[in-house]
Amino acid sequence: MATYELKKISVGSLFKIIPIVFAILGTIIGLFTFFLFPTDVARDLTIGARLLAWIIFVLLYTIIMVFGIIIISWLYNLVAGKMGGVSVDLGSKEHI
Q: Tens digit of pLDDT for each residue in 4-27?
A: 888 888 888 888 899 999 999 999
pLDDT, tens digit (0-9, with 9 covering 90-100), for 30-85 = 999 999 999 899 999 999 999 999 999 999 999 999 999 999 999 999 998 889 88
Report d(CA 7, CA 4) in Å as an integer.
Answer: 9
Beta strands in the chain (DSSP E): 2-6, 86-90
Whose CA is closest to 14, among 62, 59, 66? 66
The whole domain housing 11 covers 2-90
Looking at the whole model, is its pTM more than 0.85? no
Question: What is the tally of structural domains in the chain?
Answer: 1
